[in-house]
């Protein structure tokens, strides 16, 4: 299944009436990313452009598969090794600060390669009390994305960090799922190319939205439909082009 796939599911009872439908975002698995990633040039190592705290980081390269004891350090703090093969190793990322973060890969206790990765933090914000007091009440919510690489200017010598994205392909997609449609409705955002699927809202973050500080702020609204408590669940899916191991890492000595 291709990365960042939007799948529509339909549920019917026999050949009768449709019961429900929804849209799901299906991210690729680390194994799919490892098998589809291009081999690093000259047998070197490569890592992703973006990672998230609590997520994973895939490194490809000439691993032994067993016995080289790979250790990945992010700003000096070790990540947890999940698995290793002869072509790649997957690490679990703990809490980390947003922005460009130095990385270093050790093999057999010695530095083997180094580079950097951008740690992306997404902070969602909702009203302190998720309660509607009257019909038609305006409800504000949103998210702040931190730690993204700033797009290179037109006169910059360095290539854009988003050059692997297709035209209008998002860096990531924020989604907001309305779990109380009888209480709130009409989730909406004026962000470019945001869209709705019934009561749910999807907001893509595009390269041109990223400021020089690597921050993107997303604002959204909803309307109160009836009195009561409401729940809007939120999440994020990062484009496979951003998490695939396409950034070459530099060999280190020592």
Spell out the per-residue pLDDT of the chain, length 254, in tens. 344 444 444 444 444 443 344 444 445 555 455 545 555 445 699 999 999 999 999 999 999 888 889 999 999 999 999 999 999 999 999 888 999 999 999 999 999 999 999 999 999 999 988 999 999 999 999 999 999 999 875 445 567 899 989 988 999 999 999 999 999 999 999 998 999 999 999 999 999 999 999 999 999 999 999 999 999 999 999 999 999 999 999 987 65
pLDDT at 6: 43
Q: Which long-range contacts (CB under 8 A, 24 or more apart) does 30-36 make?
A: 30/56, 30/58, 30/82, 30/90, 33/58, 33/240, 33/243, 33/244, 33/245, 34/58, 34/60, 34/85, 34/87, 34/88, 34/90, 34/245, 36/244
Q: Domains of the chain (ranges plus CATH)?
A: 29-120+241-251 (2.60.40.10), 122-239 (2.60.40.740)
Question: Minimal CA–CA distance to 210: which of 36, 83, 49, 46?
Answer: 49
pTM of the prediction? Answer: 0.81
Q: Is residue 70 within 8 Å of residue 78, measured between CB atoms?
A: no
Q: Which residues contact 77 (CB under 8 A, 6 or more apart)?
A: 94, 96
pLDDT at 238: 95
Are the C-beta atoms of residues 187 and 222 closer than 8 Å to each other? yes
**C-alpha angle with apex 14: 12 to 19, nearest 5 degrees?**
20
């Amino acid at each position: 299944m291709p990365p960042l796939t939007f799948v529509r599911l339909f549920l019917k009872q026999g050949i009768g009436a449709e019961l429900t439908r929804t849209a799901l975002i299906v991210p690729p698995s680390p194994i799919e990313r490892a098998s589809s990633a291009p081999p690093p040039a000259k047998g070197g190592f490569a890592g992703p452009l973006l990672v998230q705290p609590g997520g994973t980081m895939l490194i490809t390269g000439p691993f032994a598969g067993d016995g080289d004891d790979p250790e990945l350090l992010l700003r000096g703090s070790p990540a947890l090794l999940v698995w290793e093969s002869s072509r790649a190793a997957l690490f679990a990322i703990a809490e980390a600060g947003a922005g460009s973060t130095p990385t270093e890969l050790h093999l057999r206790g010695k530095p083997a390669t180094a580079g950097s990765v951008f740690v992306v933090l997404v902070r969602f914000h909702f009203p302190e009390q998720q309660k509607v007091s009257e019909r038609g009440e305006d409800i504000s919510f949103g998210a702040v994305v931190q730690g993204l690489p700033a797009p290179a200017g037109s006169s910059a010598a360095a290539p854009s960090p988003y050059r692997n994205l297709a035209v209008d392909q998002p860096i990531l997609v924020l989604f907001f799922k309305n779990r109380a449609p009888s209480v709130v409705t009409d989730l909406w955002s004026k962000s470019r190319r945001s869209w709705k699927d019934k009561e749910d809202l999807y907001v893509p973050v595009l390269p041109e939205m990223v400021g020089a500080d690597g921050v993107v702020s997303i604002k959204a609204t909803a309307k109160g439909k009836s009195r009561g408590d409401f729940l809007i669940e939120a999440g994020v899916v990062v484009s496979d082009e951003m998490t695939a191991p396409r950034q070459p890492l530099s060999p280190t000595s020592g």
